[in-house]
Structure 1
């Protein structure tokens, strides 16, 4: 009998969104390390005679140019597919915004494996990025995951549930990062660097896709919570009939503005950080790259712990500000990093840097009815894509232009953008005097 109960419990857990999340992040983290090292290897012989650059500067320019194009494709192509998948999900097909992007993940990982094995041009990955984007990519996958998580929770626990998703995401990334550098070095001389690493990544994505198709269970309704309770109701409606849901467009706009500014700072800095650690004076190996990625994944765990501790005494708005201050200070310190240990010191200041975006998503989901939650979260994800048209080329060109005299200048710029992102979220906080009343209503 206990064995039967244990099997039933295990099967119930297996049908949740968490196994999909873990498998996908394990595979993606391995892929990211592999791509980073393959791009470095293929850029070693890059030359720019007209620019009179040194070999290292030429390599850095080639890598940054490649990532700029690759990331722009990843940000632009998912826009319409992701919107279509979100609308399909809100019509009751909640599994579709997860299954379709996962097929794109699998194809892109398989493409890089073929590039390594058959010595194909690295530009093949641009085509793989297009296929990945047309499947909806992360832009459709992540809102789909967050929608399932939010609809299975109460409004009071929603930020905690979303941060738990981020915790699992980060823990899986931490494990994969620690082993990725070692796996990259396992290869056959006839196949090339990264073959074993990419084979494992592709297998994990295949298992993830099969799980989402055949095992994933979807909850269509929020748990023990009517749709109307998701809003911040005015005091007149406490004892009277519930009014139709009215979306506060100013609050939504402020949340979008804060998310866009913060993501621009984070996205621009992290894009350059992956290239920055491969040059002198750091000049990391594949193993060190894996450990550095693991340090980034640790931030998911510390951010989750921060939410668990701080949410007892501060509001969600204050949580966001704490996270933004954490990132701003850490990334500013990164501007002056010249050794591996100072890199980790800078990263340690980013302990709570992952708090803002999931908390903003949580607040945003409370501003709209549950029936449009998936579409709204996807709109936010799309809104976070468009600034990439500006900040990816801007950060890349600024980094290339300051490479000789101050390569960390882009990190100072990211710190300034983060401070600007604190303005709209602070205004949003001043517009929520009824929060405690709402919380009392939901607890009644």
Structure 2
């Protein structure tokens, strides 16, 4: 049976299964902590807010309970992220960089195994009512398999292998992002109804079954794009003599060492923009569920499902934005600026949201917030040879995983410290930190045109001819 060169179904089902459990996992931990700390059942109301039920309660310590559970829930997230940080970083860098020689499927299949193991552990904790802190230890299993960073790094490198020109690469990368948003939005929208009708166990089981299907597709149907290792042009024998560990890191080293000083500077600045934007966006958005569970909003599972679905729709709207702006010839730096401003607007509105309507308006204002991810990945991919795409996306995944863990730890700690006097402070900080990538965009404007017009020289190989054409096309994209 001939395989298929379609990684989109893998990403789509992975997004669906992950977002089917992620919002529910947060709510499950929240309710278990409420039960453990208060020795009472979590207040559930058919109204749009559980605060209405809480206000009628005779327990004067209800507000204190909410604050304590909020702090413990944020610390639970902190413990999980810190424990999984280092293993997932190391595995992501090694496996995705090695995919230039060992194949992309390894970077896709390995994290799928880890995700399935974690989902089964989540199902076991829920079904048998085990200690909820077991989940903190189970994150280590997923991290040792690479996690989300390794999976997305392998998928983006897979797409880069199949793209024939720069425009196609931008659209396919953005399309992959939109696929994540579309299916995760559908999953998030259904979580509230699923939870209310069937409890926690059935959604967790459904997610596990979806992940089994993904794994079978990736193993038996998905075709490999790296048929053989790229030879070392200078010394083929030396490439064969390197150890596996050296081969993993050689591509990352060569990506920087083999570039001219100006191209290397541009690549580093683009990575700094990517890093700083990830820190502010991921850190702020990771607090949304905790924020709406707190007073005065006190959302029910139905509203959380709608809110999460709307927040994941930014993937689809950002893809439509990339397609429209690319068709209109909009410079990519301007697209980046619009995406960052979308995040700033949404975070500021969220900081002052005291009603359900304001929260939804804040989510709507962030509809272009994912656009910078696709644009930055495409811009960096165009200035890197095709034989080093795995190394590039290994670095990007490494940066993204590192930033996600650090920002999650920082913002959850900050939220736990400030929730008692002003819960919206973390969102204002996120909006303020967006100034860093905006300032770096100005630096790119200065050096970008010179780098785009820089001649690659006579040493460019025939295999990288298409990459050279992509690099010469950078000038209208950066200006």
Smaller-chain TM-score range? 0.7 to 0.9
Distance 1:331 1:440, change over 3 A: closer
Q: What does residue 202 of structure 2 align with?
A: 196
1:3 is aligned to none
Give the equivalent residue in structure 2 for 1:230. none
| Other-structure match for 2:400 | 384
**Residue pairs, 1:93-242, within 5 angstroms:** 93-153=103-163, 154-187=165-198, 193-220=199-226
Change (3 A) 1:440 1:381: closer
Q: Is the 8 A contact 1:266 1:414 kept in 2?
A: yes
Tell me the distance in 2 between the aligned counterparts of 1:180 and 1:53: 27
What's the CA shift string for 1:92-115, capped at 9, x where partnerless? 411100001100010011110000
State the secondary structure of the residue aligned to 1:400: helix
Tell me by how many angstroms 1:46 deviates.
5.3
* Aligned residue in 1 for 2:319: 304
Contact 1:44 1:59 in 2 (8 A): yes
Q: How far apart are residue 156 of structure 1 and its match? A: 3.0
Other structure's SS at 1:283 match: coil
Which runs of 5 or more structure 2 residues have no equivalent in the other structure?
Answer: 39-61, 228-257, 455-468, 475-479
Q: Within 5 Å, give how 1:30-429 maps onto structure 2.
A: 30-45=20-35, 47=37, 54-153=64-163, 154-187=165-198, 193-220=199-226, 246=260, 248-311=263-326, 312-388=328-404, 390-429=406-445
**Preserved contact between residue 186 and residue 194 of structure 1 (Cα < 8 Å):** no
Give the 3-state SS of the residue equivalent to 1:217 in structure 2. Answer: coil
- Structure 2 contact 175–319 (Cα < 8 Å) conserved: yes
Does structure 1 residue 27 correspond to structure 2 residue 17? yes
Structure 1, unmatched stretches of 5+, are 1-7, 188-192, 222-243
Gap change, CA 1:80 and 1:53, over 3 Å in 2: same
- Following superposition, the deviation at residue 137 of structure 1 comes to 0.7
For the aligned residue pairs, the C-alpha RMSD in angstroms reads 2.5
- Matches of 2:418 and 2:216, distance apart in 1: 46
Q: Please tell me whether the aligned partners of residues 98 and 140 of structure 1 are also in contact (alpha carbons under 8 angstroms).
A: yes
Say if 2:101 and 2:226, in contact at 8 Å, map to a contact too: no
Give the drift of 1:218: 2.7
> How far does residue 378 in structure 1 lie from its aligned partner after superposition?
1.2
Q: Please give the alpha-carbon distance, in whole angstroms, between the structure 2 residues aligned to 1:84 and 1:45.
A: 41
CA contact (8 A) 2:127 2:201 kept: yes
Deviation at 1:408, TM superposition (A): 0.4
- The 1:347–1:436 alpha-carbon spacing in structure 2 relative to 1, beyond 3 Å, is farther
Q: Is the 8 A contact 2:81 2:409 kept in 1?
A: no
- Give 3-state SS (helix, strand or coil) of 2:197's partner: coil
1:95 partner SS? helix
Alpha-carbon separation, structure 2, partners of 1:55 and 1:387: 31
| SS of structure 2 residue aligned to 1:16 | coil
